[in-house]
Chains A and B, each alone.
Chain A
Amino acid sequence: MMSPELICGLGFLAVIILLLARAPIGVALGLIGVIGLGLVISPEAAIIKSGVVAWETASRYELGVLPLFLFMANVLFSAGVSSLLFDAAAKFIGHKPGGLALASIIGCAGFGAVSGSSLATAATMGLVAVPEMRKAGYDPKLATGALAAGGTLGSLIPPSAALIVFGVIAEQSIRKLFMAGIVPALSQAALYMLVIFLLCLRNPALGPAQPRANWAARFKALRAIADIVVLVLGVLTGIMIGWFTPTEAASVGAIGALAIAAWRKKLSRAMLIDALMKTLQTAGMIYLVIIGALVFSAFVSATDFAAFVSRLVDALPGGALGAVIGMAVILLVLGTFIDGMGIMLLTTPIFLPVIESHGLSPIWFGIFLVRTMEIGLVHPPVGMNIYVIHGIARDVSVMKIFSGVLPFLAADFIHLALLIAFPIIALWLPQILGGVK
């Protein structure tokens, strides 16, 4: 008779095998969860538990935040937000060496605040900024590397789909997670911009300076994004100061996005149906992933495997710091062959109790986890953002994009180390506004 811990360990292995066999992420986690629960408790209990989890997830009011923010993003995307954000940033700093690359990072941060997704940010901003940079004579490695890395900002800048999913599976406040994501995302963007500045300082030919835009053109570009900036800032501020819950904020944001699209004369029946269809597709994909992860989490809880891993991690030298570094290494290794969402859902049920046992903040852990997950988006061999950008710039090889990302990857590791050494980077804002200790 196998011990529950051994069954759970084999379950992890089986999930990885199923993921590599291209089973949908939610299916890989959920199916092993059902089978595992069947072995550890009983088949009847496994079926009932999976039914309970599925219904509770599908009927969870708080999770409505996700499709509503997705809808807001899809409507704004149809209204042409991405090109306007890049254009405004380029008007202000395009005349500096590497200015368009700097503008693309600002554009990514801005679009991340609308889309909540790294892949969407990389794809959308890439379509706008990469051709512009290529046309301006930018080094292809710098142009593509900046976009691949900049796209990852979408995972951390609120409203972030990854933070919403983490909040649901870890039972943490989405509002506090959003607050915690702001400073790390802004410091990450600042580090990327520093990388571009230093690269172009060393070799200005990498990003030739463009003609300076006059102030009239700058103000015109700013006016073109004013309504979107007001909407995004209004939604985020409203959440932070308690005007509305995240779900209500998403609804207000979606209504505002529809109003902006109508004001800009972009709202049509075809556009609305397209936005609704894309929203339902992405939301359905994420719902199945969450259901699968929660069933798997129930299986892990039933086996005491978390306590087993906790004992192993406790045996590492360095106490809490050693434990966190150990987790970061495991997450980065897993990130070489499993994508970010899979890693988050696979490891949260195990690592979260360890974090809590060391007295660390689960809110900080959410940011740490998403930050580590972001790194997986740009490092080989999975590095989804690399392939997204390659799809846009077909003539730039994947290897060239990878080498263009390397300086940004170095900045990522520095940023991750800072986040581990100084958790206050994530916790400062929630401590001030959200009562997090």
Chain B
Amino acid sequence: MSGRNPVVLGLLAVGSIGLIGAMLVDGLAVIGRHTGLPLTGSIELSQACVVLLSSCAIAVATLQRAHAAVDLLHQMLGPKGQALMMRFAAFLSVLFVLALAAGAAWLAADLWNGDERTELLSIPLAWLRIVFIACLAIAAVGFTLQVFMVKPSQTGGHGE
């Protein structure tokens, strides 16, 4: 998927809000602490931003095929073998991401009536959980598409 894909752009926008939000909140918290004007609930705000960032990051990495993998055997195969291996890996990835999404949804459903909120600022966590589950669902769709649309030229495996 290209960077112009509207889903990727949407995820990039939300994830960037999370990243820049976390950066600014922490920056203000440091200044506040050293000037005697502490920012109440800064960790809670930053944590909410981190959820947006991490959720979107997982989906973006999936849609952009940026996940780390070991290429040792893959490089030894011909184009057909490589394509088959990539389909299999994508299929396994679908299973894992669906398991994560199912587990996260199970917990969210269990906690829904409890109106889960953060301590100081009462940020509603249920909505953040929904964002996370939605991003896992997008990642699952992304991996599913990779099962059917293999691009043998895209290896990109690394793991550092």
| B3 contacts partner chain A, Cβ-Cβ < 8 Å | yes
Contacts between the two chains (Cβ within 8 Å), count? 236
Cβ proximity bits A111-150 to B, threshold 8 Å, 1 near / 0 not: 0000001111000000000000000000000000000000
Beta-carbon contact of B12 and A280 below 8 Å: yes
Question: Measured between alpha carbons, how far is A47 from B102 in the docked complex, in Å?
Answer: 7
Let me know if B54 is at the binding interface, CB within 8 A: yes
Interface string of B51-71 (1 = CB under 8 A from A): 101111111111010111111
- When the two chains form their complex, are residues A280 and B105 in contact, meaning their CB atoms are under 8 A apart? no
- In the bound complex, what is the Cα–Cα distance between A51 and B99 (angstroms)? 8
Q: Which of B25, B29, B89 contacts A27 (CB 8 A)?
A: B89
Query: In residues 77-93 of chain A, which contact B (Cβ within 8 Å)?
Result: none
Main secondary structure of the interface of A (DSSP, over half): helix
Q: Which residues of A contact B61 (CB under 8 A)?
A: 280-285, 287-288
Does A291 have its Cβ within 8 Å of any Cβ on chain B? yes
Asked whether B19 lies within 8 Å of A280 as measured between CB atoms, the reply is yes
| A65 CB → nearest B CB, Å | 10
Tell me, rounded to whole Å, the shortest Cβ–Cβ distance linking A112 to chain B. 12
Contact yes or no, A52 B67, CB < 8 A: no
Complex contacts, B64 vs chain A, CB 8 Å: 277, 281
A276, B15: Cα distance in complex, Å: 9
A49 within 8 A of B: yes
Digit string of A368-392 for contact with B (CB within 8 Å is 1, else 0)?
A: 0000000001000110100000000
- From the candidates B34, B136, B157, B159, name the one contacting A340 in the complex (CB within 8 A): B159
Q: How far is the CA of A251 from the CA of B31 in the complex (A)?
A: 12
A52 — which chain B residues lie within 8 A by C-beta? 103, 107
Closest chain A residue to B34 by CB distance?
Answer: A243
A244 is an interface residue with CB less than 8 A from chain B: yes
Query: CB distance B68 to A289 under 8 Å?
Result: yes
- In the assembled complex, the Cα of A374 lies from the Cα of B108 at a distance in Å of 40
Does B47 contact A22, Cβ atoms closer than 8 Å?
Answer: no
Interface positions of B from 95 to 110, Cβ below 8 Å from A: 95-97, 99-100, 102-107
Interface residues of A in 365-424 (CB under 8 A from B): 377, 381-382, 384
Contacting residues, chain B, for A68 (C-beta < 8 A) = 19, 22-23, 26
Specify the main secondary structure of chain B where it touches its partner.
Answer: helix
Q: Could you tell me if A118 and B106 are in contact, using CB atoms closer than 8 angstroms?
A: no
The interface stretch among A13-21, A192-200, A210-218 is A13-21
Residue among B29, B50, B64, B97 with most chain A CB within 10 A: B50
Residue of A nearest to B102 (CB): A47
- Return B60 CB to nearest CB of chain A, in Å: 4
Cα–Cα distance between A20 and B26 once the two chains are bound (Å) = 40
Chain B neighbourhood of A284, CB < 8 A: 54, 56-62, 66-67
User: Are the C-beta atoms of B160 and A341 separated by less than 8 Å?
Assistant: yes
Interchain nearest-CB distance for A236 vs B (Å): 15
CB-based contact B57/A67 at 8 Å:
yes
- Asked whether any CB of chain B lies closer than 8 Å to the CB of A64, the reply is yes
Kindly list chain B residues whose C-beta atoms are within 8 Å of the C-beta of A381.
72
**Interface flag for A23 (CB, 8 Å):** yes
| Known A-B contacts A22-B85, A71-B23; A281 and B157 likewise in contact (beta carbons under 8 Å) | no
Chain B residues within 8 Å of A, Cβ to Cβ = 3, 11-12, 15-16, 19, 22-27, 29-30, 34, 43, 46-47, 49-51, 53-62, 64, 66-74, 85-86, 88-89, 92-93, 95-97, 99-100, 102-107, 125, 128-129, 132, 136, 157-160
Partner-B contacts on A (CB < 8 A):
18-28, 30-31, 34, 46-52, 54-55, 57-61, 63-64, 67-68, 71, 117-120, 155, 161-162, 243-244, 247-248, 250-252, 254-255, 273, 276-277, 279-285, 287-289, 291-292, 337-342, 377, 381-382, 384
